[in-house]
Structure 1
Amino acid sequence: MRNMVSFAAIAGVLGIFAPAVAGEAPRCAVKIAPQFIKVADEGAAAPKAPAVGETEGAGVLTAPADLDKISILKHIAGSGANILDLGSAHGLRSISARRGEQFMVLQIAPDGEAAISGPQLDLSISKLLSVAGSQVTELGEAHGLRGIFLRNGQEFQVLYATPDGQATMAGVMWDATGKNLTREQVAGIEGVAPTAVIGKDAGAASAEGASHSALETVQETSFGTLGDDGAARLWLFVDPLCSYSVRVLQDLKPFVEQHRVQLAIIPVSVLDYEDQGQSTPAALALLSKASGEMATAWEHQDFRSLGTTEAAARLRTNMGAAQSIGLRGTPTMIWRKSDGSEGRADGLPSDWKDLIASIAEGSHAAAER
């Protein structure tokens, strides 16, 4: 399965918020709320944004007067975001939510209990149905908004119609508790891989899995390798779209090139709530690759491979392993130490040389795939 059809020019997430707890190693956390879009990549200069409440040539925007009365607005404001009212169109009100350099445009559902991430599109529901025809599946109504599932070959997109039917929105619906309602709406559609989650809702780990060590658990995952087979192995859980996961690959490449370590890259999907559901298709694309091709595809952000049934099964295995070891975010590293004990690092370590030096030489055997 490839990424969703791009009916709107919505920027993908290129970074994440800093760790929620001071002193933690930088990582992409399993749960961060609410969901925002990154304006600029990590390390890149962000465009100068207007001061809060200011717009170019559009006067001054203000916070909604009924902020404390609308459930979804209270939820977003409770995260520390600044909310500005963008006005109403086609029976829906629009707001912007900003925290630091991250922002989203949201459409508020008529009942005030949910929101759609993304702007309104100048495409009526009647025109959409005329163009798409049999490729459309009705999702029913949720919080006063009609949902449409649109398939285009191996790609898909969920759209919601405005109350008057004269515009549509391509995006994800979230309720006032931060729950992804779109995921539930499409879960029963054939060929749509469910978003993998970690935590109490992901199902309890089996008794057998719970009894495994972290090293025993990772050896049963689906992974790609980078580096010499004879080098010490470092197991690496990554979300393909996590900026810290990408950073760890860059930091470790010199050690790989020096034949000091071999990476065993385990793709998982933990940032769908943050990146508009794009982590799962990216992980599926990597897991569709051969073991020796996975790291290169990830390094070049090549997620063009169609997710297969086998890739979906591999992702479920990896997510089960992540839950089994109590994954809190990505990157997470597991290795065998020289003294025989297990090493683990959650997030970017402060000293790579010490970590690499602690890995036992010849610490792995080729796992059967």
Structure 2
Amino acid sequence: MRTLAYAALIASVPTVAIAGTACPTPEPIATGAITQPPPLLTDAPRVTAAEIAASPALTRITSRGAVLYRLKEEHGLRGVFARTGDQFRVFYLTPDDQAEIGGVMWDASGHNVTRAQVAEIPGAIPTAHWAPASLPSSSANDDLPHSDAVVDPVARLAAAHFGVDGRQNAPRVYMIIDPLCPFSTRAFGALQPYVESGKLQLALVPVAINDHENGGASTPAAMQMLSAPSQEMARAWRRISDVGHAVPGQEPDAASSAELTLNLAAAHAVKMRGTPTLIWKDKTGTSRQETGMPDDIAQFLASLPS
């Protein structure tokens, strides 16, 4: 997650991604910077000193100066909005007040509960958006589906910019990745045995959604991947992963910025929630989509065409 002013305080708290296997898009944020922060959140209910003293979890959160505000209890968990300067993080407390969970709460319908909770706090919803506001000017874009159209995710990604890793006749699985998302990197490594054995071919679709967390390093890394030939993109990603950023001295192609914008538009069109996102056609010809690594690899592989 983002580095906060009280980062040392929450170092022991696990970061939360979608299903624990993906880097979430910036929209469902539970940490971040308050934009144009008000002098004091006087209208928000403060957590009292007595409540903090009675709760080991709240005591830990405030030990480095965070100010706490109450959020509405959801699904049996009390929420708190922890603010240090213009930085914030949302925590949920366990019923015994011994532990805190930092992250995003989603309900069964896919509603972002956390975002709704903090929406009333002035400046808490970030202004950064991962989806591009517009596409590069090109007559080719006239054929792209509009945002309100029904989109076949496989067909949409087939028109994106990607690199292939695996045998040519293997079933293709599109994998939308941020090159600096650790979950993307782990998924890529976990799928390598199946790529090498010919059970699937990965079509890597680079995007950049983690710039808000890594100081803008994802964009040059994604552009560097897009500058590599299709068959070399996986190797370029491995080199980037080795150093943790774009490889110095390798300038991206002039077209890579537009290609990245188009890939972000494709990710937005298929309603990507985080990286990695896997998209493929199953044996019946139905498009399938999953955020993060599949829970059941065997079932995932069995769904691929022979």
Decide: shared fold, TM above 0.5: yes
CA distance in 1, matches of 2:66, 2:156: 50
- 1:25 to 1:358, Cα distance in 2 relative to 1, 3 A: farther
Does the residue aligned with 1:229 lie in a helix, a strand or coil? coil
Partner of 1:215: 154
Instruction: Confirm whether residue 73 of structure 1 aligns to residue 84 of structure 2.
Output: yes
CA distance in 2, matches of 1:252, 1:100: 30
Equivalent residue, structure 1, for 2:120: none
Partner of 2:31: 34
* Structure 1: distance between partners of 2:83 and 2:167: 51
Contact 2:166–2:200 at 8 Å: present in 1 too?
A: yes
Matched, 1:360 2:298: no
Equivalent residue for 1:328, pick from 273, 280, 294 = 273
Aligned residue for 1:274, secondary structure, equals helix
- Aligned positions of 1:274-285 closer than 5 A: 274-285=213-224
Aligned to 1:18: 16
Q: Identify the structure with the greater helix proportion.
A: 2
Letter of the 1:63 counterpart: G
Q: Distance in 2 between matches of 1:332 and 1:66?
A: 35
Q: How much has 1:360 moved relative to structure 2?
A: 1.3
1:202 aligns with 2:204: no
Q: Over aligned residue pairs, what C-alpha RMSD do you find?
A: 3.5
Q: Which amino acid in 2 is paired with 1:239?
A: D
Instruction: Give the distance between the partners of 1:245 and 1:179, measured in 2 at CA.
Output: 25
SS of 1:263's equivalent in the other structure is: strand
| CA distance, structure 1, for counterparts of residue 154 and residue 172 of structure 2 | 11
| Greater share of strand | 1
Aligned pairs, how many? 215
Are 2:126 and 1:178 equivalent residues in the alignment? Answer: yes
How far apart in 1 are the matches of 2:296 and 2:286?
Answer: 19
For 1:354, what is the secondary structure of its paired residue?
helix
1:26-175 alignment to 2 at 5 Å?
26-31=21-26, 32-35=29-32, 63=65, 73=84, 76-80=87-91
Deviation of the 1:74 alpha carbon: 6.3
Percent of counterpart pairs with the same letter?
28
Match of 1:242 in 2: 181
Q: Residues of 1 paired with 2:233 and 2:203: CA distance?
A: 10
TM-score by length of 2: 0.60
Are the structure 2 counterparts of residues 256 and 306 from structure 1 closer, same or farther at C-alpha, using a change threshold of 3 Å? same
- The 3-state SS of whatever aligns with 1:345 is strand
Could you tell me whether the CA contact under 8 Å between 1:25 and 1:346 is conserved in 2?
no
- Indicate if the aligned counterparts of 2:205 and 2:263 stay in contact, CA closer than 8 A: yes
Give the Å deviation of 1:18: 1.7
Give the Cα separation in 1 of the matches to 2:68 and 2:205: 46
Q: How far does residue 340 in structure 1 lie from its aligned partner after superposition?
A: 1.2
List, as ranges, runs of 4+ consecutive aligned residues in structure 1 with deviation greater than 4 Å: 64-68, 203-208
Native 8 Å contact 2:277 2:291 kept in 1: yes
CA distance in 1, matches of 2:25, 2:68: 32
**By how many angstroms is 1:177 displaced?**
4.5
**1:99-132 Cα deviation digits (max 9, x unpaired):** 999xxxxxxxxxxxxxxxxxxxxxxxxxxxxxxx
Letter in 2 for 1:34: T
State how far apart, in whole Å, the 1-side matches of 2:158 and 2:300 are. Answer: 20
- Give 3-state SS (helix, strand or coil) of 1:309's partner: coil
Match of 2:204 among 230, 243, 265: 265
Q: Specify the alignment match of 2:294 in structure 1.
A: 349
Q: Aligned in 2, Cα 1:229/1:76: closer, same or farther, shift over 3 Å?
A: same
Larger Rg: 1
Q: How far 1:262 sits from its partner (Å)? A: 0.8
Gaps of 5+ in 1: 1-15, 37-50, 54-60, 82-98, 102-174, 181-195, 362-369
Shift of 1:79: 2.5
- Kept in 2, the 8 Å contact 1:34–1:178? The answer is no
Letter in 2 for 1:26: T
d(CA) in 2 for partners of 1:66, 1:34: 14
Say yes or no: does 1:306 pair with 2:306. Answer: no
Q: Which runs of 5+ in 2 are unaligned?
A: 1-13, 34-58, 71-81, 93-99, 103-122, 136-140
